[in-house]
Amino acid sequence: MQTSLPSSSNVKSEMKEHCDHRTDCLKMIQLIVDGEATEQQLDKLRANLESCKPCIEMYHLEKEVKELLAKRIEKRCCPEQLVATIKSKILTFS
């Protein structure tokens, strides 16, 4: 059953369901997520993402994973620092 709005189905018809340059896209997505992409690479990927559905999804996934990892590292760091601080305090007492 077709439930999508006319505007989104219009976009869908222009979108590619399969990426024929996935390796290149993935490489660039990773560069962008890492913040290492050049302006040229950003422009190229932006142009690709407008018509490339799997790459948009890949981009959002990579970004989410990156953010999740960053959060996990933060969470891990804090208790360790706390433990180190507590240990050093215990050592000065004993």
Verify binding: residue 28, Zn ion, rule CB under 5 A: no
Q: Which is nearer to Zn ion, 25 or 37 (CB)?
A: 25
Verify binding: residue 32, Zn ion, rule CB under 5 A: no
Verify binding: residue 37, Zn ion, rule CB under 5 A: no
Taken as a whole, the chain contains a residue count of: 94
Q: Which is nearer to Zn ion, 25 or 32 (CB)?
A: 25
Label residue 52 exposed, middle or buried (CB < 10 Å: 0-12, 13-18, 19+).
buried
Verify binding: residue 58, Zn ion, rule CB under 5 A: no
Verify binding: residue 55, Zn ion, rule CB under 5 A: yes
Which range in 4-12, 23-31, 39-47, 63-71 contacts Zn ion by CB under 5 A?
23-31
**Cβ neighbours, 10 Å, residue 58:** 19
> Binding residues for Zn ion, per CB under 5 A?
19, 25, 48, 52, 55
